[in-house]
Structure 1
């Protein structure tokens, strides 16, 4: 009886985890689809006088910041992702949203070309990624989705990073002319200083060593997934 109870409990936990991950990935896929629709509609059909930032800000804040949960998923073993890589990927985007777009006036970051770049690059990437994860969980992954997941990053990753850096650059321009913005200057009772301007510059410099590693990591993953798929297909053909 004890063994049966333990086995049932483990199975129930697995089902709950599956249900949670299915729900999370599906909601994120729908959310990013809405972001992509909003941006495309803004540039093609919308006659609204609202800015692009006003059009997408709430959906962008919600669905991008929800990605913080993925760090927890990886750290707790709920998904087999590398926690460090996941943290770097999520942190860079959350920093763009919270550290630049929300931190400085919209006429700096949210009106720069980089903002449009990240919206398109992020939304397309995330729609494909979350749908890929969702179909993996339910056990049916169309080959075209696998190919898109491990091919579109070749163009979208550099486009997204370019957009992120442009947003950081615009934010640091604001910070350089507003030294008190989000900063804590000395002298003070804590004998501590914090410079928003220098933090932005430091984050931008981190892209130099980190981006090539992350980009090459995706190529390694591409070879593993599409390479093995090609081998299987070749064997079936023979």
Structure 2
């Protein structure tokens, strides 16, 4: 998850920390907005290069920058849970670095466009929400978008990620990529192919849980009074 404003009972970050968090979230809004623009231009203008070549640098910079959010949580700059934040950040980093950067088949998957569309729109809304929450002004429309757009975007994003993983796993299996076989002096074996299959399998139990949790959060936030809903996540 991205940086959150402190909840009731949490230590309030100082002015310097708030300034840093605002700039971090604002820059992420700019980065993901630029990525969405690249995505739109790719599909609406004559294509001179692949989608991945068009967006690669932007995705690498702004998605991997989310690793900072683990430090935000660890140093209590935000109220996020460190373990949950780590899981959520590295699930995306896994797709970017372990699939899209690592394999030509993953980057060529039709799922890439779906994933990028869902990621970019979600992150623009999310980071804008966090940035404005820091300065104490979050329009209700933004709150509504944050807790409503996931209904369509989350399944789209998950579908895109799974398509990229599926396209990459055959390449990984054929090339035994990042795998360690026996025998070796550590008496250790690791199959990146099986690891990817396990990751894909985890989507089955985790997706419904996360999706239903989001609906519960939506009822909690949008079901309350307008003033409090602007402050909650």
Aligned to 2:58: 59
Partner secondary structure for residue 49 of structure 1: coil
Unaligned 5+ segments in structure 1 are: 1-9, 234-238
Aligned to 1:200: 196
Following TM superposition, by how much is the alpha carbon of 1:173 offset from its aligned partner in structure 2, in angstroms? 1.3
Aligned to 1:92: 91
Aligned to 1:236: none
- Aligned mates of 1:157, 1:165 — CA distance in 2: 12
Structure 1 stretches of 4+ with a deviation exceeding 4 A read: 230-233
Aligned to 1:215: 211
Following TM superposition, by how much is the alpha carbon of 1:232 offset from its aligned partner in structure 2, in angstroms? 7.4
- Aligned mates of 1:83, 1:110 — CA distance in 2: 30
- Aligned mates of 2:227, 2:41 — CA distance in 1: 42
Partner secondary structure for residue 228 of structure 1: coil
Following TM superposition, by how much is the alpha carbon of 1:78 offset from its aligned partner in structure 2, in angstroms? 1.3
- Aligned mates of 2:39, 2:227 — CA distance in 1: 39
- Aligned mates of 1:174, 1:44 — CA distance in 2: 30
Q: How many residues align?
A: 219
Partner secondary structure for residue 66 of structure 1: helix
Q: Which structure's CA Rg is the greater one?
A: 1
Task: String of CA shifts for 1:161-192, please: whole Å, max 9, x gaps.
Answer: 1111111111111122222x111111112111
Partner secondary structure for residue 186 of structure 1: coil
- Aligned mates of 2:87, 2:206 — CA distance in 1: 9
- Compute the TM-score of the two structures, normalised by the length of structure 1: 0.87
- Aligned mates of 1:158, 1:85 — CA distance in 2: 20
- Aligned mates of 1:230, 1:15 — CA distance in 2: 27
CA RMSD in angstroms comes to 1.9
- Aligned mates of 2:124, 2:211 — CA distance in 1: 19
- Aligned mates of 2:210, 2:24 — CA distance in 1: 24
Aligned to 1:118: 115
Pick closer, same or farther for the CA change 1:191–1:48 going to 2, 3 Å: same
- Aligned mates of 1:202, 1:161 — CA distance in 2: 15
Q: Which has the higher contact order (CA 8 A, sep 6+)?
A: 2
Unaligned 5+ segments in structure 2 are: 1-10
- Compute the TM-score of the two structures, normalised by the length of structure 2: 0.89
